[in-house]
């Protein structure tokens, strides 16, 4: 049904999880079909785009019926590689790090956090949501011994690049970065940044824009 | 120095906080100047783009010197409206919501969370990081009485749209949405989505792409 591997554009990759949200909200009955148009209507986006994105996962729809629902969900998940769990270390187990440990959706999305690391003596030795927290000074050794390639960074801004240098040296080749800093490392390392202040910049500016339009009445 | 208000493109709005990160990491001495080229080098981006973005905040640089550092920081923050705090309610105070309460950067970025709301009786009545948590059934009344326009939504997927309908009815006109669902509401409401699984989709796909390139050796 699905092809083993196809490359995809970043915009397509970002849209696919949204389609999954819509699909998973539906009753997954046997032999239920859904059209790209239906998904597009739900999300208020262009249906040609949806059809193209879905087809890029390798699935082939039936004329007039659309896509078989369960098969479509599986096709997207397989395409995103979410049916293969990748082990990862969490670096920084403060409030943000602990929230990430509690976010069950990650496992459904292919990421399996298997240990946490922090400098805070109050956290080291604890088990949070089933995950053991180790002293940060053990991280390089454990990356090597357990052959871990993926790190989730939830540190405050200080010292991030110093720690990144160490973990990349030890074997990390992909970083999901929540720290509010720009990571300087070699080009082979995959970096995906989640910068919440960037998102907030868009929100606060839009609010301000509207205030000005309305002459400050809102 | 800075103009009162100028509209900006979303990409510019998203780049400005990254420049701020770089600028704030520098020693803010009196009469220190920084060039767009220096910022561009630090972030490995195009310097013409940086200069254009900075000028869009209304600041004017000096030939050969660049921009006065403190003035530049203030110009960007003022442009992003981060020098005016906007009061907001947090809806959902589970692990993600609590992490958001602990994220000090929001206040620096213009968002002031003044109360939290949850359905969980164990949370209601508590004070978390200085913020009082109220029963969700009080939210509509308090939105009206306190004239709150901005909500941060950190609920799990269930019931999000039912709650959104209520709070929009009560007066919310802008939503920062962390819930993994598509929000259906009227077009006047500003919605900024933070969908962590979308970001994760990009990361896991890139990791998979590399695995395939390397023939599975990494």
CB contact under 8 Å between B96 and A80, yes or no, is: no
Does A88 score more than 80 pLDDT?
Answer: yes
- Report the predicted TM-score, pTM, of the whole model to 2 decimal places: 0.72
Burial call B105-128: b when 16+ CB within 10 Å, e when fewer? ebeebbbebebbbbeeeebbeeeb
- Cβ of B111 under 8 Å from any chain A Cβ? yes
Average pLDDT over all residues of chain B: 86
Q: List, in order, residues 6 or more apart from A75 with CB less than 8 Å away.
A: A1, A2, A54, A57, A58, A59
Question: How many other C-beta atoms lie within 10 A of the C-beta of residue A78?
Answer: 19
Query: CA torsion sign, A215 to B15 to A50 to B205?
Result: negative
A146-150, B44-48, B157-161, B211-215, range with greatest mean pLDDT: A146-150
- How far, in Å, CA of B19 to CA of B12, rounded? 11
Instruction: Give me Rg for the CA atoms of chain A.
Output: 21
Mean pLDDT of A200-208: 83
Distance, CA of A50 to chain centre: 20
What integer pLDDT is reported at residue B3 of this predicted model? 40
DSSP B94: S
User: Between residues A206 and A180, which one has the greater pLDDT?
Assistant: A206
In angstroms, the first-to-last Cα distance of chain A is 52
- Sorting pLDDT into bands at 50, 70 and 90, what band is B136? very high
- Cβ of B189 under 8 Å from any chain A Cβ? no
What integer pLDDT is reported at residue A102 of this predicted model? 74
- How far, in Å, CA of B9 to CA of B30, rounded? 31
Token pair 């077009």: residue: B187
Chain A residue at shortest CA distance from B95: A99
Chain B: nearest CA to A137, how far in angstroms? 25
Per-residue pLDDT reduced to its tens digit, B25-34: 777 676 789 9
- How far, in Å, CA of B121 to CA of B119, rounded? 6
- Cβ of A111 under 8 Å from any chain B Cβ? yes
Instruction: Give me Rg for the CA atoms of chain B.
Output: 21
Does B217 score more than 50 pLDDT?
Answer: no
What integer pLDDT is reported at residue A127 of this predicted model? 94
Q: What is the dihedral of CA A56, A58, A62, A65, to 10 degrees?
A: -60
Per-residue pLDDT reduced to its tens digit, A34-76: 999 999 988 888 999 999 999 999 999 898 889 999 999 999 9
Mean pLDDT of B89-100: 88
Distance, CA of B63 to chain centre: 33
Mean pLDDT of B7-29: 82
Q: What ipTM describes this predicted complex? A: 0.73
Helix (H, G, I), strand (E, B) or coil at A176: strand
What integer pLDDT is reported at residue A163 of this predicted model? 94
CB contact under 8 Å between B181 and A25, yes or no, is: yes
Q: Smallest Cα–Cα separation from A76: which of A104, A45, A34?
A: A34
- Cβ of B185 under 8 Å from any chain A Cβ? no
What integer pLDDT is reported at residue A34 of this predicted model? 93
Does B14 score more than 60 pLDDT?
Answer: yes
Average pLDDT over all residues of chain A: 86
- Sorting pLDDT into bands at 50, 70 and 90, what band is A195? confident
- Sorting pLDDT into bands at 50, 70 and 90, what band is A14? confident
Phi then psi for residue B175, to 5 deg, are -130, 130
Low-confidence winner among A121-125, A133-137, B30-34, B66-70 (lowest mean pLDDT) = B30-34
What integer pLDDT is reported at residue A2 of this predicted model? 39
Contact in structure between A175 and A189 (CB atoms under 8 Å) = yes
Regarding beta strands B150-153 and B174-177, do their DSSP bridges make them parallel or antiparallel, or are they unpaired? parallel
- On the CB side of A178, CA atoms within 13 Å amount to 24
């Amino acid at each position: 049904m699905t092809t083993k591997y196809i490359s995809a554009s970043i915009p397509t990759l970002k849209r696919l999880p949204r389609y999954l949200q819509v699909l998973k909200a539906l009753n997954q009955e046997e032999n239920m079909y859904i059209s790209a148009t239906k998904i597009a209507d739900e999300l208020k986006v262009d249906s040609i785009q949806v059809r193209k994105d879905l087809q890029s996962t390798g699935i082939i729809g039936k004329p007039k019926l659309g896509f078989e629902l369960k098969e479509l969900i599986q096709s997207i998940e397989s395409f995103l590689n979410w049916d293969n769990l990748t082990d990862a270390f969490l670096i920084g187990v403060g409030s943000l790090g602990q929230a990430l440990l509690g976010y069950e959706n990650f496992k459904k999305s292919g990421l399996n956090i298997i240990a946490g690391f922090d400098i805070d003596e109050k956290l080291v030795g604890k088990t949070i949501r089933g995950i053991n927290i180790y002293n940060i000074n053990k991280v390089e050794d454990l990356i090597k011994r357990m052959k871990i390639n993926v790190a989730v960074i939830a540190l405050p801004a200080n010292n991030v690049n110093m720690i990144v240098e160490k973990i990349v040296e030890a074997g990390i080749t992909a970083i999901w970065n929540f720290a509010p800093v720009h990571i300087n490392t070699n080009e082979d390392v995959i970096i995906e940044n989640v910068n919440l202040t960037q998102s907030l910049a868009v929100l606060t500016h839009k609010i301000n824009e509207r205030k000005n339009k309305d002459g400050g009445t809102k």
